[in-house]
Structure 1
Amino acid sequence: MNTRDKPLAPVNQSDRPRGVVAGLVYVFERVMPDPFVLSIGLTFFVSVIAVAFAPHGSVPVVLASWYSGTFNILGFALQMILILATGYAIADAPIVQRGLRALAAKVQTPTRAALIVFPIVAVAAWLNWGLGLVVGALLSREIARRVKVDFAWLVAGSYSAWSVCNSGLSSSIALSQASHGNALNLVEKATGQVVPLSETVFAPFVFIPTVLVVVVMTAIFIWMHPKQEQVVAFIDTQSGDNTSGAASEADPHARVASSGTSGASLSFAARAENSPLGTVFLLALGVGYLAMTWHTKGFELDINTTILIFLLAGLALQRTPIAYADAIRRAARQTGSMLLQYPVYGGIMGIMTGTGLASMIAKSFVAIATPATLPVLSYLSSLIITLLIPSAGGHWAVQGPFVLPAALSLHASVPRTAMGVAMAENVSNMLQPFWAVPVVAIAGIRIQRVMGYTAVTFVVSLVIYAAALWLIP
Structure 2
Amino acid sequence: MLNRVSERFSKVVQRFLPDAFVIAVLMTLFVFVLAIIVTPTDPLELFQSYGDGFWTYLAFTMQMVLLLMTGMVLASVPFIRKGLEALSAKANTANKAYLYTFLITSAAYYINWGLAVIVGAIVAREVGKRNQNAHFPLLVACAYAPTALYTAGLSSSIGLTVATKDHFLADVMGVIPTSDTIFHPGTILILITLVITMPIFILFMAPKKNIIPYTPKEKEQQPIKTEKEEEKTFATSLENTPILGILIGLVGLIYTILQLGKGTDLNLNLINILFLSLGLMFHRSLNQYGKAFQEAAGSISPIILQFPFYAGIIALLGSSGLADIIIKGMISISSTESFGVITYWTAGLVNLLAPSGGGQWALQGPLSVPAGMELGVDPGVIAMVVGWGDAWTNLIQPFWALPILSIVGLHIRHIMGYCILLAIWIGIVSSILIYFVY
Q: Same fold (TM over 0.5)?
A: yes
Partner of 2:165: 180
Contact 1:365/1:406, CA 8 A, preserved across alignment: no
- Give the whole-Å Cα distance in 1 for the aligned partners of 2:381 and 2:268: 20
State the shift of 1:428 in Å.
Answer: 1.3
- Give the whole-Å Cα distance in 1 for the aligned partners of 2:247 and 2:112: 24
- Mark the CA change 1:351 to 1:180 in structure 2 (over 3 Å): closer, same or farther: farther
Partner of 2:367: 402
Partner of 2:129: 145
Partner of 1:236: 216
Name the SS of the counterpart of 2:355 in structure 1: coil
Name the SS of the counterpart of 1:178 in structure 2: coil
CA deviations 1:400-434 (Å, max 9, x no partner) are 33322322343322222222222123321222222
Name the SS of the counterpart of 2:18 in structure 1: helix
- Give the whole-Å Cα distance in 2 for the aligned partners of 1:140 and 1:348: 33
Contact 1:361/1:402, CA 8 A, preserved across alignment: no
- Mark the CA change 1:366 to 1:256 in structure 2 (over 3 Å): closer, same or farther: closer
Name the SS of the counterpart of 2:162 in structure 1: helix
State yes or no: 1:462 paired with 2:435. no
In structure 1, stretches of 5+ residues that fail to align are 1-13
Aligned partner (choices 143, 148, 155) of residue 158 of structure 1: 143
Aligned partner (choices 273, 276, 293) of residue 259 of structure 2: 293
Partner of 1:29: 18
Aligned partner (choices 170, 181, 184) of residue 155 of structure 2: 170
Partner of 2:179: 198
- Mark the CA change 1:342 to 1:178 in structure 2 (over 3 Å): closer, same or farther: farther
State yes or no: 1:270 paired with 2:236. yes
- Give the whole-Å Cα distance in 2 for the aligned partners of 1:116 and 1:348: 37
Aligned partner (choices 59, 65, 68) of residue 84 of structure 1: 68
Please show how residues 127-142 of structure 1 align to structure 2 within 5 Å: 127-142=111-126
- Mark the CA change 1:70 to 1:432 in structure 2 (over 3 Å): closer, same or farther: closer
Q: TM-score, normalised by structure 1?
A: 0.82
- Give the whole-Å Cα distance in 2 for the aligned partners of 1:423 and 1:145: 33
In structure 2, stretches of 5+ residues that fail to align are none
State the shift of 1:458 in Å.
Answer: 0.9
- Give the whole-Å Cα distance in 2 for the aligned partners of 1:239 and 1:303: 34
- Mark the CA change 1:146 to 1:46 in structure 2 (over 3 Å): closer, same or farther: same
Partner of 1:10: none
- Give the whole-Å Cα distance in 2 for the aligned partners of 1:70 and 1:449: 30
Partner of 1:281: 247
CA deviations 1:27-71 (Å, max 9, x no partner) are 4338x8624314532552575379x44xxx567876776566544
Partner of 1:3: none
Amino acid at match of 1:453: Y
State the shift of 1:208 in Å.
Answer: 1.5
Amino acid at match of 1:41: L
Partner of 1:313: 278
- Give the whole-Å Cα distance in 2 for the aligned partners of 1:202 and 1:154: 30
Partner of 1:433: 398
State the shift of 1:99 in Å.
Answer: 1.1
State yes or no: 1:256 paired with 2:240. no
Equivalenced residue count is 435
State the shift of 1:89 in Å.
Answer: 0.3
Percent identical residues: 29
Contact 1:178/1:197, CA 8 A, preserved across alignment: yes
State yes or no: 1:224 paired with 2:209. no
State the shift of 1:352 in Å.
Answer: 5.5
Amino acid at match of 1:190: V
Partner of 2:382: 417
State the shift of 1:380 in Å.
Answer: 0.8
- Give the whole-Å Cα distance in 2 for the aligned partners of 1:336 and 1:236: 21
- Mark the CA change 1:440 to 1:366 in structure 2 (over 3 Å): closer, same or farther: closer
With 396-405 and 212-221 compared, the bigger mean Cα shift is at 396-405
CA deviations 1:322-355 (Å, max 9, x no partner) are 2111211222223333334444444555566567
- Give the whole-Å Cα distance in 1 for the aligned partners of 2:13 and 2:219: 34
Amino acid at match of 2:363: V
Amino acid at match of 1:443: V
Q: Tell me the C-alpha RMSD between the 2 structures.
A: 3.0
Contact 2:343/2:385, CA 8 A, preserved across alignment: yes
Amino acid at match of 2:92: Q
With 67-76 and 269-278 compared, the bigger mean Cα shift is at 67-76
Partner of 1:94: 78
Contact 2:331/2:343, CA 8 A, preserved across alignment: no
- Mark the CA change 1:45 to 1:181 in structure 2 (over 3 Å): closer, same or farther: farther
- Give the whole-Å Cα distance in 2 for the aligned partners of 1:356 and 1:233: 48
- Mark the CA change 1:361 to 1:432 in structure 2 (over 3 Å): closer, same or farther: closer
With 149-158 and 349-358 compared, the bigger mean Cα shift is at 349-358
- Give the whole-Å Cα distance in 1 for the aligned partners of 2:46 and 2:131: 56
Contact 2:299/2:404, CA 8 A, preserved across alignment: no
State the shift of 1:298 in Å.
Answer: 2.0
- Give the whole-Å Cα distance in 2 for the aligned partners of 1:222 and 1:16: 13
- Mark the CA change 1:194 to 1:63 in structure 2 (over 3 Å): closer, same or farther: farther
Contact 1:124/1:135, CA 8 A, preserved across alignment: yes
